[in-house]
Structure formats: C-alpha cells, structure tokens
Structure 1
C-alpha cells in the first residue's frame, strides 16, 4: 500500500452517463500505471457495474450535489445539507483512517458541499488534515450588480465566498490547491478567496483511442451528443431536423440519442421518430444508447463540425465538455449559440467557430452553410492557455503536492 492515497469526493456521481463517470474512469485508469492508490466516493444512488471498477468506486454519500434546480438554497437548507455532508465526511475519515499523507479531490461541488468540507477540516485541525484539491466546476458568481440578471450571480458569489473562505482558513496554504477550468472563472474565484487559483486541464479529458481522422469526402456534422437536456436545445433540433436534412443533402448529419440518459423520460416517442427519419433520409445517422470511450472518440474523429444549440440563459456562464472535446481536435469546428460561454471562450481562444442565434433556424442554417463552404476545419492555436486545458486532467491531479 502506498503512503499517499487519493480520495475523490463526488456526491454528484449518480449514474454512468455523466461527466462524473468520465472523470472517475480516467483517474482510475491513470492511477494504475502511476502506482497511485485511488478511491472514488460517489452518491449512494449509484448502481455499480462489474465493468466499472467496482473495487475503486464506492456508493457513499446521501448528501446531494445538485439541488433546487441549480438555484441558491435558502440558508437553513444549505446549513442542514452542510452539516449532513460533514457527518458523512467524518464517517469517511474514520472508515479509511484518512491522514495528513492523503489527498482529497472535489472536482464538482456547490457551496453547501464546500461548507461541509470546511466544517470537517476545521474539526480535524490543520496539523492532522489531509491535503485537498478543489476544482471550481461552476460559475463562481459576480461581486457586481449592474442589472437584475446579476442578482442571482451575486447571491452565488456571497455563498461561495462564505464557504470557500472558511475552507481556506481551515487548512494550511501548502495543503490546499484551488483551481478552475477557464480564465473567466479564475478571475471570479480569485476574487472569492483572495489567493492564487490555477487553471487545470479540462476534467472530461480522455486520451484519444483512435487518432485517425475520417477520410470521408462529404462533411459530417454532429447535431447533438451527450445527455438529454432541454437547455441544450434538443426540442428545437428535433423540430427542425427534417428541414436541416432537406436543406443540406450533401452533408452527413449524426445525431446521438442517449436512451440511458434520465432526461429521455420527457421524450417518450422520439426513438420511433428518429428511426423513421433515418429511413427517410440517407444523410442521417442515429446513434442510440451510451457511447463508450472508443465509440465516443471514433464519433468525434469522424466529424468536422459539432453543433451546440445551448440556451444562453443557462450557458452564458456555464462551461461545456463538448467545447473541450472539439478544442482537442484540430480538424473539427464548433457551431454554437451566440451569448453562451462556448461562444465567448471560442473567441478568447481564437478558434474557428460559427455562431447562430438561439432557436433561430434561419440563423442556424446560415452558420451551417458558412461552415460547410469553409475549406478549413478548426484552427491549431497552441497558446499556453489552450495547451494547459488540453492536457490530461488525471496527470495534473497526480502531479500536485
């Protein structure tokens, strides 16, 4: 047994069709060759599969990660969840005899989880506490209120500042690493905790199983991929799918419909409709179910463009794993809604991207036409920022301390 163990604190890991699974799998895979001992502590809702590292993933936490439709919780509810989380962490420490040689990682969390962590570390004491890596997954909020839309972000800023500042004070500076996934978030988190915040690689990083780029003469465009969520524009795409197929007969469209995603419950008849469309149009390919790592890599390596028709109201400050999957492939371009984080980050990185107005089919058609007529696919901007984002997240984690 190694002297240093890694414990991934992940109450949001409730199923295998999410970024939580991708991160956990990657960390476990990387730990083996590096001879690191790792354990992923997931939600107790997770149903294990023998194919999924059953000895390395433990359903543990009853405290939820995602609450209140991602809106700030009332103070009494937040404090109650933080207390519950602290109790579960105390049990975890006792069960595995966690000590100052060990490393805890929380890569996806909200203020109530940070508050519970802070309470636990304060009770353990700075001398005896393990090391901690905190990755800010979500928008830290804003300390400025310029309009009514900023009120919610200001509330998140206050909650995050209280919990993360408490956490910072509860542990020696040399024992904690604060990091986040983009420059915009970095500025926000530094304003919260008044200490250095690092940029970490995209947490959904997976080494490419197949690096060969498709040699198809016809361009392929991925219209939808991933979990089924309404704020990812799925209704709009389904409503206009036949129009797009008719408008661009010379483009091969790919549509991923994850029948294992919890969101499918809101779309009871789509399976049949998609099958009917694929029989009617020769330029449509439907992929059903969960995509394993190899299939996912093959899919992204086979397309020259990916559409992200995300709602600006939800994704103005929200990051996207799809963005990073496209970023790592120089032969692939992003087509996304204006007013989203994906659009602003594309501009910041000077990547080849095409933008359209949200839920405006004419604007989307124009963006697809511009992408289709362009001779270039993607841009290889190897600046330091992009290089860091595109590194393996797991290796970065294991290189800390």
Structure 2
C-alpha cells in the first residue's frame, strides 16, 4: 500500500507542507566552515540535512556545525575544524551534486547525517540503496586511508514537529527500512561505521530547533565520533596542514555580502514584498559564483547555497532577458531534478542582475508550487523588481569595497 505512486505523492505533499509551514523559522546563512585557528586540528566533513540544517538559529556557530566542533574538542582535547555541506533540500539522490569537487583527502572524519526527508517522502528502497552505494563508494575511494567515515541512521520520525499519528507511523516504517539498507551497505566497507541515532528532546517552546538542542545533538555525535577521530589520527603518520575553505569567490564583493550573519534588511524586505506583490510562494535574490547559487535574501526554507546545476537560475544568468517557466515538471531541462522534486516549485520567473561592470552575477526570482501561465507575471514588472534588487546588491558591493579600502589604509598607517 505505502509503496504505491499515489502514496508517495501524498507523502511528498505532506513534507512540502511542513517546509512551507516553517518558512518563518530562521536558518543559518553564514559560512558553514568552523575554524579553530590551530596548525594541526582534527578536520571533519559534515554532510547532511535535518538537524544539520540548523533550524531555529541564524549562524552555524550556534547550529550543529559549531556545537559539534566544540563537543569534539572537549572529547578529544584537540582543536577541531568542520566544514558542512548540505541543506534541508538535499536528498540522498542529490548528494553527489552537493559534494561537487570537494577534496575528501583533506578530512580525518566524514560524518553523514542524511535521509530523514527520504524516509518521510517514501523514497523507493532500490533508489535509496543505489544512491547510498554510490555515496559510500566515493567517500571510501577518495578519502585518505586513515580517514574514518560515520553514517548516522534516521532518528525517530515523530521527533519532527509536523509528524505524528499515521504520518509518523508511515514515515517510521520507511525509516526502519532505509536504516536496514544503510547498515547493509556500511557493512561492506572497512573504516565505515553506522551510528544508530536517537533524537534528543526539543527545547520547550522551540520545537524546530535551538542552540541548546544542537548542543545536545552534538554530544550524541561527538561521543561516537571522538574515538573514530582518535583512530584516524593514530593511523595518519604523514599528516599535512590543511586550511578548510567553503568557496573561493571570483566576485569578491559577493563574499562580503554573504558574510553578514543576519542577512541584509533591505534585501529581506524586498523579497517579502515581492512575494506578496506577485502572489507567489517564494521569492529570492541570489548571487551566482562558480558552480554555486548563494541566497542573499530568500523567503523559502533553503539555507545559504545550492549547486547551480540543480536550479532554474543556471539558465537565467546565461542571457539578459527574463526567463519564465510555466511548469518545470513538463520542461525536459528539469526532468529527474532532485531539488525540484523536494521543493515542488513548478512556476518560475526570474531575471538576471548585474554588477557595475555589466556582468551577470545573480538573479531576482519568484516561484510557486502550482504552475502558472506566462501572463501571470509581466516581464516589465519582473525587470523593474530585478532592477531594484540589482541597485541594492551594487550598493552593498560598493560598501564592501569601501570597507576593504578603509581596512587596508588602517593597516598601512600602523
């Protein structure tokens, strides 16, 4: 019964409802890299969604990424650097794209915390197993021999605020199945361990997440991962110093714009107004650099960035005119796209925004779950809002250049 296509469609819609109900819940949009500043720290790669997304916090320092770095240091008595790759919108099928060309040899430990969204959306077992085989194959093949890999199971489905009763029971049944498949695949690799995960209780009054909840989560992970880090260090006779980075920006002002922990009030206000003006489910202003799309402002539950190749905007920035897609589900360019399968955003209307040199460096977009006709959005109206977003981005970019100039002048005077 629960393997049927209609059942999966209903499960996807329920998950989508949960996401949109949580639009107002803050998530971190700052850099997902925690650095200790030490010369030879333990280096950890955190890959995940769910608790790793940082629901209820505005900075990775207070989310699981920062809390885990501090917990591991308490357990090992060594400094810890962590890089987080992932998002609530990352499913098992899209991990390959999210990882991109990351250098796995830089890390002593890889911690994988995935699959809750696959469980509650009833991802087919064969699809899930194939993706997990591919993921662990890459991790074991490309990581250094001394590195340890920990794969966490899916915690209790009823630990999610939106899941109780029948929805929780159906999701838990799939979670148990996927956990069994994960144990099986993990058992085929040396240096890989399975962590049977149980969720700590949420803080009273903060069901979606809080710094205290992530501190509790971090202890769950650290108690299991610290011995693995000890083992990795003992096996690594030829350690080399490596500085963890998130993204090397080609357009440097973009890095400064995205460095603001609390976002930018003017851009946040603009996208909220655009969502109401266009009558859509989501609106955002993005900066595109390399193979990543970064969200300078966003009304949807997506965090800091997503791989560009999974987005509509990859096509918008290729030209100078607005792009309107009535129904992404019927567009061959997005067939099998795992990000759109999660977000279910069908209608898209976007326009490029430029830097002061006339180069396309981002987009202004509005999106909806339900398809719409091209006439639902005026291209002239879209261009006008994109121009407002562009003016604000250019203003912020100019401020960042001025700040850099003042900093360099201050250094020169010393």
TM-score with structure 1 setting the length:
0.29
Whose relative contact order is higher, 1 or 2, with alpha carbons under 8 Å and at least 6 apart? 2
TM-score with structure 2 setting the length:
0.28
